[in-house]
Amino acid sequence: MKEFDVALKAVAEGLRTIAQGIEKIAEKLEDSVPKGKAKSKPARKAAAKPKKSAPKKAPAKKTAKKTAADAVLAIVNRSKKGVTSATLVKKTGFDKKKVANIVFKLRKQGKIKSLEKGVYTKA
């Protein structure tokens, strides 16, 4: 029990030291604020009346996000003679696997067709 009392006194002394330091900092802050500029804000009431909300605006138009498939399809549609898988990888920055999956899906959807192995054009 004696050890507990000693520890408790040490904590109390530490808290007093911290409080004194905070008081000194507060005094310095008060001295640094120009007089006449320091205004205290009124305390908020716990059960304040809700403010009237601004009139509602019309909902914003939804913009379609450009997907990876859209990027690949755009490149294929711009090419006249067709585009290779390697070119798609280079222009999109996607890895080969991702481009292959996108091309597969676009072919299934009928949006692009294969001229020969690895060369694609718009359907």
Q: 2 or 97: whose pLDDT is higher?
A: 97
Output the pLDDT for position 102: 94
pLDDT tens per residue across span 50-84: 666 667 777 767 677 788 999 999 999 999 889 99
Output the pLDDT for position 25: 87
Report the percentage of the chain scoring pLDDT > 90. 45
The CA distance from 58 to 9, in Å, is 64
Q: 45 or 78: whose pLDDT is higher?
A: 78
Query: What are the sequence ranges of the domains in the chain?
Result: 1-33, 68-122
Output the pLDDT for position 74: 93
Output the pLDDT for position 107: 93
The CA distance from 108 to 97, in Å, is 17
Residue linked to tokens 């004696």 = 2
Of 71, 120, 64, the closest CA to residue 94 belongs to 71
CATH placement of domain 68-122: 1.10.10.10
By DSSP bridging, strand 112-116 and strand 119-122 are antiparallel
pLDDT tens per residue across span 18-36: 999 998 888 888 877 776 6
> Cβ distance 89 to 95 under 8 Å?
yes
Phi/psi at 9 (5° precision): -65, -35
Looking at the DSSP bridge assignments, the partners of residue 112 are: 122
